[in-house]
Amino acid sequence: MDDPFNILGQEMDTPARFEDAVRDLLERLGGTYARFEQLEAQVPHESYTDEEWQLVESTAEQVAEAVERAEEGYVAVMFDSHAWYRITENLEQINMRLESAIGVMERVRDRTAV
């Protein structure tokens, strides 16, 4: 018999496995980074204001640092199971930072296309 108080549906009955959640996050992050790289190659450096370009550069640096931290975090997982949570939080923050930078890059692209 179905639970009459379950308004979320059956898909919420079984929580997603952590490995699946991490894999989905990494796939989403990979797609976001691919968009970032595509826009970086597409929009000439000269089209950005100094502040806009500084944001693009700092985002690229933060992504590189996040990759290093994630690699170190994977080693830490062997000793601390909570390290997975820190890794996913870090990757989620980087994804949001990339999305923000992509928004700026798209505005610059649109501004220079006119």
CA 24, 27, 31: angle at the middle one, nearest 5? 140
Q: Where are the domains of the chain?
A: 17-46+60-113
Greatest distance between any 2 Cα atoms in the chain: 64
Looking at residue 5, what DSSP letter applies?
Answer: T
Q: What is the pTM for the complete model shown?
A: 0.76
Cβ atoms 100, 87 nearer than 8 A: no
For residues 23 and 88, the answer to whether their CB atoms sit within 8 Å is no
Location of structure tokens 């550069």: 57
Per-residue pLDDT of the chain (114 residues; tens, 9 = 90+): 566 666 666 655 565 576 777 788 889 999 999 999 999 999 999 999 999 999 999 999 998 888 787 777 777 777 777 777 887 888 889 999 999 999 999 999 999 986
